[in-house]
Structure 1
């Protein structure tokens, strides 16, 4: 098996991807290496935490000297690294310039020849909001090229892994169709392409929808690569939705403009009084000192910071997966920008899909805001309560856990049978008191209560309510009495 999953939380996972040059633990970031530009060399990437790199085979192919060296020495000796290397095929140049001077079969065979660990066919990254006719025409070409790449690799019996990009612009039906066709081709990695313009424009809601459309089709046993998503601001969301690999040229591109990456957004170096980071660069220099350094050296230092902070975010995400606290981690991160917040709230429309992935048992349910309502643990609890069988004619429901009762009423969860009041999720939930929690959290609970009462309309329920709860317990079915 090429990809082995070792830990799961939300739709995210920690996995091990087997490549010809060793195993890679995911989720992880692949720094982009441009062999034409002397910036931070590939050989130094390990110190930041890199386990795999990505470079552009089209750039190498188009440069006579680089091409000859790559063919003679191999890709890894060219880059002077023993890390696995994924190679893109020129799709980015196709998106920017509209044309490339290479055919799909040529660039696939070239990637094989130079020893790429993960090969990418020459897919067509249709831009967002393109005409439907263009999007479907581009997709047809992409699918045919992917089939061709698969045939070439199988015929050569090589060890290279094959990435099958999923395209389709901003059309859900085309993304799903692309994923269905990609699944038939049976690749090793499934990149989601064509999302960079959306990320650049902070159209995170569109990216979330695209990811979830793809995840609804591609089996969980395959790794997902989100092309061009290298900014730490979006990494936690993408991992929580099931993406495993990311590539980043942002660390270098942003550094050229003195743009300083943080998990909460991008800062201009000249706007920073203090550096909010303790990486080796930020521990050695102040913002003022960095600005006084010659531009070329400063670019490298800011680029190094950008790498440090990006890999630090990856490590924090992995730890959250290990602790089964990824939902809590994401819910904190999304508060750094309204577009992140609104994008994450879309998960309520994909509750069934999330339930398929999210572990049913955890140590704690830590409420961080109304987004916590959308977690699978909540919908699972509501479903379990629907299946509770009642034998007596009369029951008590209390809003206080200090009272002995048959059932308890809690924000978010609603009705909690006494036997569930000590187990996950409702029994292990940390939430603000009802008078301080958001109205939506109480409304969800009361709506669940109403459904419960209506289902058991032949039973009588005495609800012992105190404080603010009484204000919410209105318009209940006739079989309930509030005391």
Structure 2
């Protein structure tokens, strides 16, 4: 029997935390979910088999990077992103808006979209809501993100209101552009993105306009851009509840383990971040007792595992001393093993979160997790 295009069900609640299932044609996504980031059709330093084995139900692909290399039209000719990278489960693609505005030179934002210069070769490009929808369709995305402007950190109310209003106009154009690709729209989902910076009234206006347009799911955008955890949690104290209760809520670009568990406690269902892969390549492991820098000389003769509470293949087979040697020697295997551990740690953490919500003990789990995680020296 064919899976539905898109459905979301909540199986358990514990406070504001929700445990559920997002079902799509390429499979089910257990929520709360963490999506490893596959920027350029690869989760950096990981084989796709190891990403599967870690427990990931869905990964994230990056529209900006893939449109520049190898190119969306080429990707379509090669059979789409899933076939290209040998991933048969759902893929969410971001809209490209954040990367255009953060990575590109000579960026010009107009009502039409964003004109920018490629960071690869200096070529000029235009990314609009309609082109973003077309690129994500060519990639074969399962969850398509509306094109928006990520409001700069520190924006005052006037600037945040201007930016949010344009993002809402772009959201409507994204909806229309997505629907125009009828065959793709019949099997994919479209998420809108709430904006409004740190202002509750603007976030409420944004939520109301997105709901009027109508989306399969809703993302909370414009956070994790330098505002700090306290300010982010301040927004999350109200923003998730401004969005429909029966749709998944996705906090974009977050984050650290304590950010994620705090956001789950406030009603968020989906997350992505480059942190576990980037940190792994740079010698930082996430463990149940906090981050660990394997470069530290104290680990040069430490035969213990990265995390005594972790059953991932890295912790079962390799010592801190060996990983210290690999990273200090700049061996590629060091980046691979550290990244594999971090992705496994994040997926195991999400499973523990889901279990705690389902069993009605999330508050106790939350406290115990933070007591251990934040106690690191």
| Residue 177 (str. 1) matches residue 182 (str. 2) | no
Paired position in structure 2 for 1:28: 33
Paired position in structure 1 for 2:192: 164
Q: What CA distance in whole angstroms lies between the structure 1 residues aligned with 2:171 and 2:86?
A: 29
Aligned-pair distance for 1:333? 3.0
Per the normalisation by structure 1, the TM-score is 0.65
| Residue 76 (str. 1) matches residue 112 (str. 2) | no
Q: Secondary structure at the match of 1:266?
A: strand
- Of the three residues 6, 20, 23, the one matched with 1:18 is 23
Q: Secondary structure at the match of 1:116?
A: coil
Q: Secondary structure at the match of 1:30?
A: strand
User: Following superposition, which runs of at least 4 residues in structure 1 exceed 4 angstroms of deviation?
Assistant: 64-67
- 1:206-221 to structure 2, matched below 5 A, reads 206-221=231-246
Q: What CA distance in whole angstroms lies between the structure 1 residues aligned with 2:180 and 2:73?
A: 24
1:130–1:169 CA contact under 8 A, matched in 2: yes
| Residue 7 (str. 1) matches residue 12 (str. 2) | yes
Give the aligned length. 336
1:95–1:126 CA contact under 8 A, matched in 2: no
- Of the three residues 338, 354, 357, the one matched with 1:318 is 354
Q: Per the alignment, do residues 75 and 36 of structure 1 end up closer, same or farther by CA in structure 2, a change over 3 Å counting?
A: closer
Q: What CA distance in whole angstroms lies between the structure 2 residues aligned with 1:184 and 1:42?
A: 38
Paired position in structure 2 for 1:151: 176
Aligned-pair distance for 1:164? 0.6
Paired position in structure 2 for 1:130: 155
- 1:294-313 to structure 2, matched below 5 A, reads 294-295=329-330, 296-313=332-349
Q: What CA distance in whole angstroms lies between the structure 2 residues aligned with 1:267 and 1:121?
A: 37
Q: Per the alignment, do residues 263 and 231 of structure 1 end up closer, same or farther by CA in structure 2, a change over 3 Å counting?
A: farther
Q: Secondary structure at the match of 2:344?
A: helix
| Residue 186 (str. 1) matches residue 214 (str. 2) | yes
Paired position in structure 1 for 2:323: 290
Per the normalisation by structure 2, the TM-score is 0.83
Q: Secondary structure at the match of 2:66?
A: helix
Aligned-pair distance for 1:70? 3.4
In the alignment, structure 2 segments of 5+ residues that lack a partner are: 1-5, 108-115, 117-124
Aligned-pair distance for 1:288? 1.4
Paired position in structure 2 for 1:473: none
Q: What CA distance in whole angstroms lies between the structure 2 residues aligned with 1:219 and 1:65?
A: 35
Paired position in structure 2 for 1:224: 249
Aligned-pair distance for 1:25? 1.5
Paired position in structure 2 for 1:62: 68
Q: What CA distance in whole angstroms lies between the structure 2 residues aligned with 1:141 and 1:264?
A: 43
| Residue 329 (str. 1) matches residue 335 (str. 2) | no
Q: Per the alignment, do residues 156 and 70 of structure 1 end up closer, same or farther by CA in structure 2, a change over 3 Å counting?
A: closer
Q: What CA distance in whole angstroms lies between the structure 2 residues aligned with 1:153 and 1:93?
A: 20
Aligned-pair distance for 1:218? 1.0
1:164–1:182 CA contact under 8 A, matched in 2: yes
Superimposed CA distance per residue, residues 54-102 of structure 1 (whole angstroms, 9 cap, x where no aligned partner):
1102211112456403344112112211010000121231342363432
Q: What CA distance in whole angstroms lies between the structure 2 residues aligned with 1:125 and 1:65?
A: 23
Q: Secondary structure at the match of 2:19?
A: strand
Superimposed CA distance per residue, residues 127-160 of structure 1 (whole angstroms, 9 cap, x where no aligned partner):
3221222211211111111111111223333222
Q: Per the alignment, do residues 66 and 143 of structure 1 end up closer, same or farther by CA in structure 2, a change over 3 Å counting?
A: closer
Q: Secondary structure at the match of 1:2?
A: strand
Superposed CA RMSD: 2.2
Q: Per the alignment, do residues 154 and 70 of structure 1 end up closer, same or farther by CA in structure 2, a change over 3 Å counting?
A: closer
Paired position in structure 2 for 1:117: 142
Q: Per the alignment, do residues 122 and 263 of structure 1 end up closer, same or farther by CA in structure 2, a change over 3 Å counting?
A: farther
In the alignment, structure 1 segments of 5+ residues that lack a partner are: 339-483
The higher relative CO (CA closer than 8 Å, separation ≥ 6) is in 2
Q: What CA distance in whole angstroms lies between the structure 1 residues aligned with 2:220 and 2:79?
A: 31
2:193–2:219 CA contact under 8 A, matched in 1: yes
| Residue 87 (str. 1) matches residue 93 (str. 2) | yes
Superimposed CA distance per residue, residues 403-458 of structure 1 (whole angstroms, 9 cap, x where no aligned partner):
xxxxxxxxxxxxxxxxxxxxxxxxxxxxxxxxxxxxxxxxxxxxxxxxxxxxxxxx
- Of the three residues 226, 230, 236, the one matched with 2:261 is 236
Paired position in structure 1 for 2:122: none
Of 46-55 and 288-297, the range deviating more from structure 2: 288-297
Paired position in structure 1 for 2:48: 42
- 1:441-460 to structure 2, matched below 5 A, reads none
1:12–1:239 CA contact under 8 A, matched in 2: yes
Aligned-pair distance for 1:246? 0.8
Paired position in structure 1 for 2:307: 276
